[in-house]
Amino acid sequence: MKSLNETIRKTIQDRNSLVCVGLDYHSDKVPLHIKEQSDPIFTFNKAIINATADLVCAYKPNLAFYEAYGAEGWDALERTVHYIPEGIIKIGDAKRGDIGSTAAKYADALFQIGFDVVTVNPYLGIDSITPFIKDPTRGVFILCLTSNPSSKDFQYLDIDGLPLHLHVAQKVNTWNDNDNCGLVVGATHPDELRSIRQMTPNLPFLIPGIGAQGGDLESSIKMGTDAKNSMAIINSSRGILFASSGLDFKEAAREEAQKLRDQINTFRERATSS
C-alpha cells in the first residue's frame, strides 16, 4: 500500500508531468453552446478531461464553483471526480478548517466523493488536520503561503525570528508521520518558495498562481521542486479552461495544457543540468 506522497511521486514520474488543471466552472466564461446544454457543468468538465488527461498529473476542482449551484453543482462535482481516469491525482480544493467531529465529517464527505487529497487550513491546529491524514493513502495540502496579495496580512508575521509561513512548514513536517502531508505555496512568492522548500525537502507542493495571478513559472520550478525536480504540482485553471470561448475550446485547452507541460519539463531539464 503506497502512501499518498509515494503515489504523487510515482504519478509525476509515470506521466512525466507536473501539470494540474483546476476545474473551476465559470458559467459566464464557458462557450455558449455548453451553457445551452441540459447538464452544462459536467459536459464542460468531461470535455476538458477528455482533451487533457494524457498531459496532466492532477485535476483540482475548487468546491466553491460547484457549491454555488446547489444540489446540481454537487452532483456534477461527484460525477466529475468519478470521471477522472485512474492514475491521475484528484485534489479537492476545499480549504476546510474545523475541529473534532466537524472536521471528521468534512473528511468523510470529501474522501467518499473520491478525492485523493484535500486542501485544508492549519489555523486551528493539528486536531483540525488529523481526520484527513488517518489513512496514509489519502491526505492534505496544507495552506502555507498563498498566492493572493493579502497573504501578507498574517502569513508574514514575525514570530521568534521566522515568518508565520515558515512556522507552518516546520509544523507540517512533524505532522507527516503517514507520508501524506503537503503544502500549498503560491507561485507569486519565489524567494519564499525556496525557503519553504529548503525547510521541507520531501513534501509535495501544490503551486497555484501561475498565469492570471502573475506567478513566474521558471522560478516556481527552480525553487519549488525537490532534489529530483519532482514533487511540485503546478496548477493552471483559467489559462487552460477558457483558452477559447468558441467551438474549438477543447482543442485550445489541450494546446495550452501541452504548452504548459512542455515549458515545465524544459525548466526541469535545465535545473537538472545546472
- Averaged confidence pLDDT in the chain: 95
Catalytic residue, chosen from 29, 46, 95, 171, is: 95
Q: Is 45 helix (H, G, I), strand (E, B) or coil?
A: helix
pLDDT digits (tens, 9 = 90+) for 222-250: 999 999 999 999 999 999 999 999 999 99
Active-site residue, 95 included: yes
**Mean pLDDT, residues 13-27 taken together:** 97
User: What is d(CA 260, CA 45) in angstroms, rounded to the nearest whole number?
Assistant: 19
**CATH number of the domain to which 89 belongs:** 3.20.20.70
Percent of the chain with pLDDT strictly greater than 90:
92
pLDDT band at 274, cuts 50/70/90? Answer: low
pTM of the model: 0.96
Q: How many domains does the chain have?
A: 1
Nearest to 57 by CA among 3, 21, 6: 21
- Gap between the Cα atoms of 174 and 176, Å rounded: 6
164-181: per-residue pLDDT in tens? 999 999 999 999 999 999
Mean pLDDT value across residues 63-75: 97
Residue 213 pLDDT class (50, 70, 90 cuts): low
Flag whether pLDDT at 211 surpasses 70: no
The predicted structure's pLDDT at residue 214:
59
Residue 248: domain span? 4-273
Range 44-71 average pLDDT:
98
Q: Is the pLDDT of residue 125 over 80?
A: yes
* pLDDT(183) > 70: yes
- 3-state secondary structure at position 183: strand
Residue 117 sits at φ, ψ, to 5 deg, of -150, 145
